[in-house]
Amino acid sequence: MDVRAYAALAPKAPLTPHMIQRRELRPNDVLIEIKYAGICHSDIHQAREEWGGAIFPMVPGHEIAGIVTEVGSGVTLHGVGDHVGVGCYVDSCRDCDNCRIGQQSYCLNEAAYTYNSHEMDRVTPTYGGYSTHIVVDENYVLRIPANLALDVAAPLLCAGITLYQPLAEWKAGPGTRVGIVGLGGLGHMGVKLADAMGADVTLISHSPNKEEDGRRLGATSFLLSSDRAAMKEAQCSLDLIVNTASAISKLDPYLSLLALDGTLVSVGLPSEKLSVSAFTFLAQRRRLAGTNNGGIPQTQEMLDFCGMRGLGSDIETIAIQEVNEAWDRVVASDVKYRFVIDTASLGG
């Protein structure tokens, strides 16, 4: 079917209206009418080719929330009318050691990402959520809990799971001191989730004006990363830090905040290489890790957790026609805290 979308036609080109084709339903496919699509900083990195080789035209968007309007003959997991979501990938090999244990975001044969990628045939380009409809295999579609509105749920499909995974794997909870670096789309979900898990949360930000919001969202402490005295004072005081910043590559100031056996999980994807000093790293037996969004079972677990707690994203809703301006505001760290596109603005 022909579907309305917005696409970047070349690196750094503004997004413009563009028609794409969605495939006819296969037996295990669901057709989703997209209601909302979150704007992740990864959309901007990729469309502006900051990570190298990108595929154009590019229809970004991997924080998709919508309603099932049709199902293939073999579909058992979802039904017409269901509220569903799609995240960072739409398929994976299903056969490697990681896929077999539900760690599809670590597929050893490279998953089919939701856009700027190809389906598992390695030929057909994938197009993301800045569009009115998408067709996805039922196994890669998530259930959105009934008590979460689709607009505030959309960002959970990337920002939510990307922070839930490190917090859950490193057991953030009562008695753990968690630092979240960066209060953007990912970071604000990190503050909310870590607080909901019972951890003591410190927001570490390069923006002096984000302290109040950080505290409102669940942080009990605030560190301004440019305040050398405060950063020194806070050395060796945290057990787990999740770095969500889109543009931090020198990790030493943050690693220094870790106490004995503490772990810094870096999830931000700046184009520059990450760097650490060996001295900062080995002091306090520190650990450095990375995580990549999350597998389907854990993404569903995160959505159910957010449903139980009534946890959605703090959003600013925009029409698709405002997307280029919104991207510039994301780059300027000027969004509270996730832009979500109302896809009704794409027209019927």
- Residue among 192, 170, 183, 264 nearest 225 (CA): 183
Does the protein bind ligand NAP through residue 293 (CB under 6 A)?
A: yes
Q: Which of residues 163-192 bind ligand NAP (CB under 6 A)?
A: 182-187
For ligand NAP, which is the closer residue by CB, 66 or 268?
Answer: 268
Q: Does 42 bind ligand NAP (CB under 6 A)?
A: yes
The reply on whether position 103 binds Zn ion by CB under 5 A is: no
User: How far is it, in rounded angstroms, from Cα 50 to Cα 250?
Assistant: 18
- CB under 5 A: which stretch of 11-19, 41-49, 259-267, 276-284 binds Zn ion? 41-49
Dihedral angle at the C-alpha atoms of 20, 25, 30, 32, nearest 10 degrees? 30
Give 328's contacts (C-beta < 8 A, 6+ positions apart): none
Please report where in the chains the tokens 């039922």 appear, as a residue.
138
Task: Collect all residues with Cβ–Cβ distance below 8 Å to 44 and sequence separation of at least 6.
Answer: 50, 327, 330, 331
Q: How many residues bind ligand NAP (CB under 6 A)?
A: 30
Decide if residue 96 touches Zn ion (CB under 5 A).
yes
| Cβ neighbour number for residue 120 with a 10 Å cutoff | 18
Distance, CA of 303 to CA of 325 (rounded, Å):
30
Applying CB under 5 A, does 299 fall inside the site for Zn ion? no
Choose the stretch contacting Zn ion; rule: CB under 5 A; options: 11-19, 107-115, 239-247, 279-287: 107-115
Q: How far is the CB of 344 from ligand NAP (least distance, A)?
A: 23
Q: Answer yes or no whether residue 131 interacts with ligand NAP by CB under 6 A.
A: no
Q: Does 246 bind ligand NAP (CB under 6 A)?
A: yes
Looking at 5, 20, 39, 40, which residue binds Zn ion (CB under 5 A)? 40
Q: What angle do CA 147, 32, 145 make, to 5 degrees?
A: 15
Asked if 92 is part of the footprint of Zn ion (rule: CB under 5 A), the reply reads yes
- For residue 334, the tally of other CB atoms under 10 A from its CB is 12
Q: Which of 98, 114, 126, 162 binds ligand NAP (CB under 6 A)?
A: 162
List C-alpha distances in Å: 166 to 51, 132, 181, 302.
23, 32, 13, 12
Q: Is 247 in the site for ligand NAP (CB under 6 A)?
A: yes
What is the smallest separation between the CB atom of 245 and ligand NAP, expressed in angstroms? 4
User: Beta strand 221-224 with 200-205: parallel, antiparallel or unpaired?
Assistant: parallel
The interface with ligand NAP within residues 82-121 (CB under 6 A) comprises none
What distance lies between CA 97 and its chain's CA centroid? 24
Our CB check for Zn ion shows the closer of 96 and 149 to be: 96
Q: How far is the CB of 178 from Zn ion (least distance, A)?
A: 21
The angle subtended at Cα 142 by Cα 146 and Cα 340, nearest 5°, is 75
Q: Which spans of this chain sit near Zn ion (rule: CB under 5 A)?
A: 40, 42, 92-93, 96, 99, 107, 109, 158
Q: Which spans of this chain sit near ligand NAP (rule: CB under 6 A)?
A: 40-42, 45, 158-159, 162, 182-187, 205-207, 210, 244-248, 267-270, 292-293, 330, 333
